[in-house]
Amino acid sequence: MSLFEDKSEKMTSVKSLGEFRLIEHLTSGIAPKNTSTIMGIGDDAAVIDMGEKYQLVSTDLLVEGVHFDLAYMPLKHLGYKAVAINVSDICAMNGDVKQITIGLALSNRYTVEALEELYEGVKLACERYGVDLIGGDTTSSTAGLMISITALGEVEKDKVTYRAGAKVNDLVVCTGDLGAAYLGLQLLNREKGIFKENPTIQPDLSGNDYVLERQLKPEAAIKYIKILKELEIIPTSMIDVSDGLSSEVLHLAKSSDVGITIHEDKIPVDYTAMNLANELNINPIFCAINGGEDYELLFTIAQENYEKLKKDPDFTIIGFVTDKSEGNNFIANDGSSHLLTAQGWDSMKNS
Ligand code: ADP
Ligand code: MG
């Protein structure tokens, strides 16, 4: 082999694998060496045996220009959101969040005052969620702002919920409503575009407080975890909705080795989000299925828990668990059945 051989043909682009396959690829062959590692890679948080309880650990990274645009994201909101989305992953394990650490990389464009604003949001979220900020790291960056947060939580051993665990005939439940965060982003992008073309035009965001709040200041699902505890329901499987409903349904189904069927007419969408979707000419169900960043919980329960849960409007039963052989399906309003894919459902482009 020549030393100067062009190896470029053998290179694989990260894009060709996609995020999930890349993680699988890079971490293949990694098996826990310590008996205390109960769950390593592959769920919303890692699970560590600490004796009486399990400890939960989860990390998320937010990158300027990828996850947020400071043209419309106030730094205080960004700080709050960065904490909330990490707390969300602890909730997805049915756990209570306790501590966070924060890693910051900053370009020299940031002033102390700007970072104070960011930390106002962080502190507010820590107050709201009862979390202690216990450390982190700060360094410089050549490309904007990056915030990496690690959240630590705990859960009683018999209450931990994984992505795996859904059983055939279980009910599929979703908290709150879906799609609004994506619509908030579409609205902000529209107004940013208009402002760029003509800076004298003021942004028209009136009447859309809900979708904007869902995008700019999402809340972690702590209140739903509390309700489930009160109702004495332990979901058989659970995940948080960070990437859109279809992607999360596929994660639960794959991890649990089952199929999942969801019904279009059951998917909860807020009415102001629905109105905005119509105005923007977007299918609101597309936003719910594919949008992401709603930070609701998606979980499965045994049918015997249906009576306990059905009266609470916070929870919507959107489908049921089937044998794996039936695949993952989306039943449209007209009764037609479609295969659910990571990008939505197979006929989405036509609907
Ligand atoms: P979530 O959307 O809930 O934050 P992710 O899809 O980011 O979950 O991650 C799925 C799993 O992969 C998690 O267990 C996470 O800890 C793990 N993971 C993500 N990126 C890496 C990485 N670069 N190296 C090792 N594990 C990773
Ligand atoms: Mg998650």
Helices (H), 107-265: 112-129, 180-197, 209-216, 222-230, 245-256
Provide the pLDDT confidence category of residue 158 given band limits of 50, 70 and 90.
Answer: very high
Residue 221's SS3 state is coil
**Alpha-carbon span 172 to 26, nearest angstrom:** 31
Residues 81-128 pLDDT 10s: 999 999 999 999 999 999 999 999 999 999 999 999 999 999 999 999
CB count in 10 Å sphere of residue 312: 14
Predicted confidence band of residue 155 (pLDDT cuts 50, 70, 90): very high
Q: Is the pLDDT of residue 3 over 70?
A: no
3-class DSSP state of 187: helix
Q: Which residue has its alpha carbon closest to ligand 1 atom 16?
A: 41
Dist. CA 247 → ligand 1 center (Å): 14
Confidence label for 203 from pLDDT (cuts 50, 70 and 90): low
- Give residue 60 CA to ligand 1 midpoint distance, Å: 8
DSSP string, 16-32: HH-HHHHHHHHHTT---
Pocket of ligand 1 contains residue 41 by CB under 6 Å: yes
Identify the band that residue 351 occupies on the pLDDT scale cut at 50, 70 and 90. Answer: very low
Nearest ligand 1 atom to alpha carbon 26: 24
Q: Model-level pTM?
A: 0.93
Percent of the chain topping pLDDT 70:
94
Distance CA(282)–CA(284), nearest Å, equals 6
- Determine which residue's CA is closest to atom 6 belonging to ligand 1: 20
Residue 137, judged by CB atoms within 10 A of its CB (0-12, 13-18, 19+), counts as exposed
Beta carbon of 248 within 6 Å of any ligand 1 atom? no
Per-residue pLDDT averaged across 152-163, rounded? Answer: 98
Backbone angles phi, psi at 206, to 5 degrees: -65, 145
Atom 23 of ligand 1, nearest CA residue: 23
Kind plus residue range of the DSSP H or E element containing 286? helix 284-290
Nearest residue (by CA) to ligand 1, atom 3, is: 44
Rounded Cα distance between 134 and 100, Å, is 6
> In angstroms, how far is the first alpha carbon of the chain from the final one?
53
- Measured N-to-C along each axis, helices 112-129 and 75-91 cross at an angle, to the nearest 10 degrees, of 30
- CA 136 to ligand 1 center in whole angstroms: 19
Q: Is 27 in the pocket of ligand 1 (CB under 6 A)?
A: yes
Can you state the percent helix, strand and coil of the chain, rounding each to 5? 40, 25, 35
Q: Judge whether 81 and 185 are in contact, CB under 8 Å.
A: no
- Is the CB of 40 inside a 6 Å radius of any atom of ligand 1? no
CB 60 less than 6 A from any atom of ligand 1: yes
